[in-house]
Amino acid sequence: MQRLAKQLWVAVTSLTLVASGCAPRQPFYFFEDGDLSHYVGSIQKLEYPDSDQPPLDEAAGAVEPLTLSNPSFDNVWELSLEEAIRTSLENGKVLRNLGGRFASFGGPRPQTGEPAVSLLTSPQQTPTIYDPAITETEPFRGVEAALALFDAQLTSSLTWERQNRPQNVNPTGALIFQQKLLGDQGNWTSGIQKRSATGATWGFSNSTIYDNNNSPIREVPATWTTNYDFSFSQPLLQGAGVTYNRIAGPDPFDNIFGRPLFRGVLLARINADISLADFEAGVRNLISDTEQSYWELYFAYRNLEARKAGRDSSLEAWRKVHALYVEQSRGGEADKEAQAREQYFFFRSEVEQALTDVYRCENRLRYMMGISASDGRLIRPADEPTTARISFDWQQSLVEALSRSAELRKQKWVIKQRELELVAAKNLILPRLDMVGRWRFLGMGEQLINQNYDPYNADGGANPDPLVGTDAYSTLFSGQFQEWQAGAQFQMPLGFRRELATVRHFQLQLARERARLQDEELEASHALVEAVRNVDTNFALAQTNFNRRVAAERQVEAVQAAYDANTVTLDQLLDAQRRRAEAESSYYRSLVDYNRSISQLHFRKGSLLEYNGVFLAEGPWPGKAYFDAHRRARQRDASLYLDYGHSRPGVFSRGAVSQNFADLGADAPATQLPARDPATRAEPVPASLPAAPGTKSEPTAPELLPTPAA
């Protein structure tokens, strides 16, 4: 029976486990109400920040964009290049760019089908107008932070202590020492310490102590003690000198890493100059991309007009052939009607694509100008590209490219930084030898201060109680108690392993930065060569394509007359019309590329800002700064001359960068297109801009009729 009961229990248990499965089960609670609103079922959630930053009006107020199905706009905005650049600079808190689309002027065309999204993909890499000021005020590497290391430091502390402790004293020793020590003690310490540019540390401090206890050996229960200390410490070898301290700053090893951390005033100043070079490059890129976008929009309009002319001529040809086709006349064969129809729809698709390119280029220019993507207006360039031949002196251009480039100037600042760091690193090879000294005035009395000038008499004299009625400051001013200390502190690691490795580290860094500068200069010269070649090539192409355009127009006229006289076939006429449209577009493509290459040459020479009339200037200081500086200048003027040249660091800057290089040939004289020979002489360029899309009535295509049966 027991065996049967055991088997039955095993079977019931197995059935229960199979029915419940292997999933864990929640426990049962008697007072559970089922409200689990406090339960958190996930670790993280996608949440929105609690920010009151409203969206930009230009972004939130954008209207429906212009498209092929929505081509209507309120008016045309005749925009000059100067106005476009000025608007870009006015709205340029973040120095926008097109993400390198116009970086190669001899290579592929800009990616007109893609929007500029560099800010969305890498916002931290885009320069802003705030970057130089942020670098200047950086709390660890900024100029003010480096100067703050030499500021006077005021310290003060006040403590009060209650004593109540037992002491290991036998009854006999209790005549001198208490078995239970009771007392109060207060300590007030304050001082000021100042570091100098030579590495010295000067200090002035005061310590006042109140002591009251029940020791039987004391003459009075409570006494006041005060002292004033004058101290100094001057490095003689490692850490000494104005140059080292202005490069490295005090205590370069005083950091959590325990390695040299140079953060002196000179290095902080160079960091600010590097940020200014980055800012200049950002402004230059903003202007360059704005100008490139402007001329690309100009070409988009011209290309649209060329495609519209081809569409109109092909439509006229189709209408004539279609009329002959309906009448079953000679010249209206089905293959010719289909060929004319295909030509028309080919040009119609070209017009639609060109119109879309106008909208895209206009939107890109709006982005560079920092205005709304669409506001009911259509921008149309008001300036014509130049047809004059611009020539630059090669040697002067090369000198400008190597001296005015913001990238090269930035790299030279980096090299200067490494040179200064190497100077500071070599100072660390010296042993540490500091001269120290201290002079102290002391005073003690029953009171801290009173009106009776009763100093403590150390000799005693006739008074058996010399501390009774005295005050500490009277004793201090009597000058009876003075202490001094003078000495030297020496420290030197055996082998200088870390110091020698530090020197070698900065030597290698300096060699690396110099090698980078050499290759950057080589790259700048190659880029300048390509820019000069592009100017010359695009000018020649502009001449050739203009003559090609004139020849294509005359070819269409001649073939049209021959076709009307039934001496040529239709395909020759259609081919001539297509060639004319391609010649028209190619001419304006080369003309726009010529103007873009001029801008690119100024970009490579470093004169693009001057070429567009843009100059960088520092903003004004607060009015209080001018007042203080004027007072300081008057103080220096009224003082005696003292040659403090020994405290000046070596020259590391050549002064402000000149932004006007006219004497170097930056503004080379322009000459008109030369007449090579009568056969290739360039004819004048049309001065008027094409009409805006949508303002000219589009010819209507004929109704598509079924092809007649053979």
Q: Which two tokens stand for residue 49?
A: 């920040």
Those residues with Cβ within 8 angstroms of residue 228's Cβ, 6 or more apart along the chain or in another chain: 204, 205, 206, 440, 441, 476
Residue type, 377: R
- The β-bridge relationship of strands 670-671 and 389-390 is antiparallel
pLDDT at 585: 92
pLDDT at 704: 36
139: helix, coil or strand? Answer: coil
Those residues with Cβ within 8 angstroms of residue 560's Cβ, 6 or more apart along the chain or in another chain: 573, 576
DSSP bridge partners of 225: 209, 444
Query: Which residues, given as ranges, of the chain have pLDDT below 70?
Result: 1-23, 99-118, 251-260, 458-464, 641-655, 658-710
pLDDT at 229: 95
53-76 tens-digit pLDDT:
788 887 887 888 888 888 888 899
Backbone angles phi, psi at 665, to 5 degrees: 90, 25
Residue ranges in 381-439 assigned as alpha helix (H): 394-404, 406-427
- CA–CA separation, 457 and 474 (whole Å): 11
Taking each helix axis from N to C end, the angle separating 334-369 and 265-327, rounded to the nearest 10 degrees, works out to 160
- CA–CA separation, 326 and 574 (whole Å): 20
- CA–CA separation, 622 and 509 (whole Å): 39
Those residues with Cβ within 8 angstroms of residue 128's Cβ, 6 or more apart along the chain or in another chain: 93, 94, 95, 282
- CA–CA separation, 164 and 175 (whole Å): 19
Name the burial class of residue 383, with classes exposed (0-12), middle (13-18) and buried (19+) by CB atoms within 10 angstroms of its CB.
Answer: middle
4-63 tens-digit pLDDT:
655 665 565 555 555 555 567 778 777 787 787 777 777 777 777 877 778 888 788 788
Structural element, H or E, at residue 7: helix 2-20
Domain spans, the chain? 71-132+278-430+503-613+661-696
- CA–CA separation, 106 and 604 (whole Å): 14
DSSP bridge partners of 488: 435
pLDDT at 408: 94
27: helix, coil or strand? Answer: coil
Please state which CATH number belongs to domain 71-132+278-430+503-613+661-696. 1.20.1600.10
**% of the chain residues with pLDDT over 70:** 81
Q: Which two tokens stand for residue 214?
A: 């029940």
- CA–CA separation, 213 and 221 (whole Å): 6
**Location of structure tokens 């060109």:** 354
Core vs surface per residue 424-446: b (16+ CB within 10 A) or e = bbebbebebbbeeebebbbbbbb
pLDDT at 46: 77
Q: How far is CA 90 from the centre of its chain?
A: 18
- CA–CA separation, 344 and 628 (whole Å): 77
Backbone angles phi, psi at 40, to 5 degrees: -105, 115
Taking each helix axis from N to C end, the angle separating 81-90 and 334-369, rounded to the nearest 10 degrees, works out to 40
